[in-house]
Amino acid sequence: MITYIIRRILVSIPLLLGISILSFLIIQLAPGDPTSLFLDPNIKPEDREAFIEAYGLNDPVYIQYFHWLWQILHGNFGQSLIMHGIPVSELILGRLPNTLLLMVSSAVLAFIISIPFGVLSATKPYTLTDYTVTTASFIGVATPSFWIGLVLLMFFAVKFPIFPSGGVATLNAPFSIWDRLHHLILPAFVLAASDMAGLTRYTRSSMLDVLRQDYIRTARAKGFNSRKVVYKHGLRNALIPVVTIVGLIIPSFIGGAVVVENIFGWPGIGNLFLNAAFQRDYPVIMALTMISATLVVIGNLISDILYAIIDPRIEY
Amino acid sequence: MRAFRKWHRIIVFIFIVALVLSGCSQKNATTDTYKQTDETSGNTEKPKDGGNLIIGTSGSPTLFNPYYSEDTASSDIEGMIFNGLVTVDENLNPVGDLAKNWDISDDGLTYTFHLKDNVKWQDGQPFTADDVVFSYSIPMNKDYTGPRASDFEKIKEVKALDEHTVQVTLKQPFAPFLTSTAGYGILPKHLLQDVPIKELDKASFNTKQPIGTGPYKFVEWKDGQYVKLEANKDYFEGRPHIDTVTIKFIPDANAILTQFQAGDIDYMALQSTDLATGEQLVKQGKAKIKTTPSLSYTFIGYNQLNPLFKDKKVRQALTHALDREKIIQAVMNGDGKIANTPGSPLEKWAYNPDVPTFDYDVDKAKKLLAEAGWKDTDGDGILDKNGKKFSFVIKTNQGNKVREQIAQVVQQMWKEVGIEAKPKIQEWSSFIKDVTAPTWNFDACILGWALGVDPDPSDIFSSKEIAQGLNFVHYKNPELDKLMAENTKITDREQRGEMIKEIQAGIAEDQPYTFLYYDNDHIMYNPKLQNVQQHPSIAYYKIEDWWIKQ
């Protein structure tokens, strides 16, 4: 197992390098540059040119790339073009914990809600319960997250002010875990909503498959109570395909987080990514792309390891 | 089973109806998070000190140094931290800020500012003329890397005559000097003099400890969340009433409105599309709205590199074919005023109300197009000339619903006169790259200009701004060029005003743009906020005089 992990990590290095080259090229291909913000009659074209020269944006692409790579290898993510010299690492580190918190809570929420409902659906197939759960999950997948977010905001923050309307914590108030959780619930739920549907259905069909197996029948014949059969014997096996999704959910959250962060004013990297893309803040875009790529690689690795742990048939 | 299927259908039906209804209805918020304040008559109440103001805004700032910032989010906050020598009043006339008054030499080259002597920096040090000399010499320095050099290149020399007198000598008379250059915030020499100019844009002063002379002191900036400022108790105009001001960043416009309704923010800029919601809140006593015409206009620009638009008659016809009043009604709900010149009516001394206008007149449009040689020879409804159809692409930027709708509306209106316009929406950065020098890849575009306080039209309409500047429609009028080159040299306001009015009339006659409308700025705020003032170009105007009724 250890050798497997090491091998995987070694393979991901050239993978990430390739991703960085590709991303760099694609970003350079996009029309526009950071000076498009300068469409101000008071800022003359000479000033714009001076800016471009000063930040090396006139150099050939490969020189810019190697310059960037050299910096990265020394742990320097460069400085933001738009935010005037603020180190990119500072910008990201200020926000990354918020996004990670959001992603992890959404993932946890999604699993906590989807799996029991999926199991419920599977143990009572084609009943009213099953149809209700299925319909609800389809609604979750069909409605865009910004709509869900705004509607929930309207209902639970304005009409019935149960939850705060945005932000990470109450302004000007001392730190409190409850306050943080209070602010976290709505955004985490909205982010989880679209994945909950898939997870529920997936759990359901996997469970249905498993419950039909012979060993389940044997377990029932042995006289185990229903709960033991379903959860100890059934679910553990049904979770195998579900676990593989874990690795794929993480990258999807990065994308979904952009919308949720926008609506709830959540200061995460999703927002930073969006602004940097529109303003052509190349160092920030590259740094965030590499972080996302790394997260995807790690996510897949975790997924495979979990797979090996859960399924005794698998051996690396 | 059959009964169950029927149930299933009913449940699904109810779900769908509920969803559709929830999209339509406008429920009144029943929250009691607003303390109902009684309507006070006039400003007879004495302002009280204290309270916290939370402002919600969508733009995030980049840094707090007026010599390096380029975006309004940053400059709006800089306006609370720093002061310039001169500012403008509600009528856009220059009034003293750090300067008590000033003398201008007869040749218009030397300005002598007499500074107020009771001004202190927010760290307690006294403000003197040396700070002004230091600040202005930054963009004049050869190592300066920021974007504001051009605003200072007309200065020959700045020197301190004594502790409270500073003299600026220009290379040639430059009328906008007072309102543009002399408006720049002054930086503290004693804190920045040891920073090499080359590295000044990255100084930690800009992002961690900006210190100015203004009414509010910087406390902290949590990136992506908020900037917090607190009252400068020693402010030279008197202690600001409100204790702390927090500017909260909320990227989504709908979310800003929601947070206001939830009582989480007290002040926001209201879009014209949300005006109806805002007025509802006013009726419920939960908000107050203030409106002012903004210092900006929206226009359609015609690229004269395209042979379609070279003829003045054609451009005039294009304007005649548009019912601009209808556009304002349909797209802006009437929240705008038709524009005919490139200047704002707020600049009363330089605004020409009698320029040639090209009002909605479909017959006149058709006549002018016919005179220019355009006829529909093949009966397809589109005019043509020498085998070429009058068809073009009209571009605008994504993310601005108003402009996207205008593109649709004008497409319809032009169809009536046989002109085919195809709307295209483009992402901002690539749109700018396409439209501006040296690409000029566009036929017509819908854009807006936010005007500066000085009404000089040459940055946009002088032919010397074609090669690298903002005259991307390639407009050229040699007589007007001469006037535009002269106008900034005339320091006498009345004389200069006449010249600008003449330029405006000339530009209006040539119609390089169809000037669509001047729009309005609205602010919406919690009624507990008193004495709020609004200004067309200064955000949070006179915020030191606002106060909160607890």
- Pick A267's closest partner by Cβ from B70, B224, B263: B224
Q: Which pair of tokens denotes residue B327?
A: 């556009």
**Which H or E run includes B99?**
strand B99-104
In chain A, residues with a C-beta closer than 8 Å to the C-beta of B145 are 50-51, 54
Cβ within 8 Å, pair B68-A84: yes
- The arithmetic mean of pLDDT across residues B46-72, rounded, is 91
A62-115 pLDDT, tens digit per residue, is 888 888 888 888 888 888 887 777 888 888 888 888 888 998 899 889 889 888
CB–CB of B208/B81 below 8 Å? no
**A1–chain B nearest CA distance, Å:** 42
Neighbours of A47 (CB within 10 A): 23
B534-547 pLDDT, tens digit per residue, is 999 999 999 999 99
> What would the DSSP string read from start to end of A7-48?
HHHHHHHHHHHHHHHHHHHHHHHSS--GGGGG--TTS-HHHH
- Predicted confidence at residue B249, as pLDDT, reads 92
Nearest to B547 by CA among B242, B212, B287: B242
Domain A88-310: assigned CATH number: 1.10.3720.10
Q: How far apart are the C-alpha atoms of A164 and B263, rounded to whole Å?
A: 10
Cβ within 8 Å, pair A47-B470: no
* Residue B411 forms contact with A (CB below 8 Å): no
* Residue B31 forms contact with A (CB below 8 Å): yes
Q: How far apart are the C-alpha atoms of B327 and B516, rounded to whole Å?
A: 9
- The arithmetic mean of pLDDT across residues B269-280, rounded, is 90
- Predicted confidence at residue A225, as pLDDT, reads 80
- Predicted confidence at residue B15, as pLDDT, reads 57
Q: Per mean pLDDT, which range of A276-290, B169-183, B308-322 is the poorest?
A: A276-290
> At which residue do the structure tokens 């309207």 appear?
A154
In chain B, residues with a C-beta closer than 8 Å to the C-beta of A39 are 432, 436, 470
pLDDT at B361 over 90: yes
> What would the DSSP string read from start to end of A69-99?
HHHHHTT---B-TTTTT-BHHHHHHHHHHHH
pLDDT at B18 over 70: no
Which one is predicted more confidently, A229 or B51? B51
In chain B, residues with a C-beta closer than 8 Å to the C-beta of A171 are 54, 226, 246, 248
- Predicted confidence at residue B292, as pLDDT, reads 93
**How many Cα neighbours within 13 Å face the side chain of B378?**
10
Share above pLDDT 90 across residues of chain A, in percent, rounded to a whole number = 5
Which one is predicted more confidently, B77 or B450? B77
- Predicted confidence at residue A229, as pLDDT, reads 77
- Predicted confidence at residue B5, as pLDDT, reads 66
Give first-to-last CA distance, chain A, whole Å. Answer: 6
pLDDT at B322 over 80: yes
B230-244 pLDDT, tens digit per residue, is 999 999 999 999 999
Considering A265-274, B63-72, B299-308, the range whose residues carry the highest mean pLDDT is: B299-308
Cβ within 8 Å, pair A154-B63: no
B93-114 pLDDT, tens digit per residue, is 999 999 999 999 999 899 999 9
Please give the backbone phi and psi of residue A18, each rounded to the nearest 5 degrees, phi first: -60, -40
- Predicted confidence at residue B27, as pLDDT, reads 39
**B153–chain A nearest CA distance, Å:** 11
Cβ within 8 Å, pair B255-A166: yes
Contacts of residue A67, defined as CB under 8 A and 6 or more positions apart, other chains included, come to: A56, A59
C-alpha B112, offset from chain centre: 30
**All CATH 1.10.3720.10 domain ranges in chain A, comma separated:** 88-310
B457-472 pLDDT, tens digit per residue, is 998 999 998 988 889 9
A217-240 pLDDT, tens digit per residue, is 888 888 888 777 777 778 878 888
User: A-contacting residues of B 413-472, CB under 8 Å?
Assistant: 427-430, 432-434, 436-437, 449, 452, 459-460, 468-470
- Pick A171's closest partner by Cβ from B7, B54, B223: B54
pLDDT at B319 over 90: yes
In this structure, the dihedral spanned by the alpha carbons of residues B337, B340, B342 and B343, taken in order and rounded to 10 degrees, is -60
pLDDT at B29 over 50: no
Q: How far apart are the C-alpha atoms of B66 and B61, rounded to whole Å?
A: 12
Give first-to-last CA distance, chain B, whole Å. Answer: 64
Assign B28 a pLDDT band (cuts: 50, 70, 90). Answer: very low
- Predicted confidence at residue B316, as pLDDT, reads 95
- The arithmetic mean of pLDDT across residues B404-432, rounded, is 92
Q: How far apart are the C-alpha atoms of A235 and A228, rounded to whole Å?
A: 10
Q: For the stretch A304-316, what's the b/e string if a residue is b when 16 or more beta carbons lie within 10 angstroms of its beta carbon? A: bbbbeeeeeeeee
- The arithmetic mean of pLDDT across residues B135-153, rounded, is 89
Cβ within 8 Å, pair B150-A46: yes
Write down the mean pLDDT value for chain A: 84
- Predicted confidence at residue B469, as pLDDT, reads 84
Assign B34 a pLDDT band (cuts: 50, 70, 90). Answer: very low
For residue A90, what is the nearest residue in chain B, using CA coordinates? Answer: B223
Q: Per mean pLDDT, which range of A11-20, A259-268, A302-311, B262-271 is the poorest?
A: A302-311
Write down the mean pLDDT value for chain B: 89
CB–CB of A31/B429 below 8 Å? yes
- Predicted confidence at residue B11, as pLDDT, reads 65
Which one is predicted more confidently, B283 or A51? B283
- Pick A157's closest partner by Cβ from B52, B224, B258: B258
In chain A, residues with a C-beta closer than 8 Å to the C-beta of B33 are 161
What is the DSSP-derived secondary structure letter of residue B379? S
pLDDT at A203 over 80: yes
pTM value? 0.83
Task: For residue A289, give the amino acid letter.
Answer: T
In this structure, the dihedral spanned by the alpha carbons of residues A182, A187, A191 and A196, taken in order and rounded to 10 degrees, is 40
Burial of B289 (0-12, 13-18, 19+ CB in 10 A): middle
Assign A43 a pLDDT band (cuts: 50, 70, 90). Answer: low
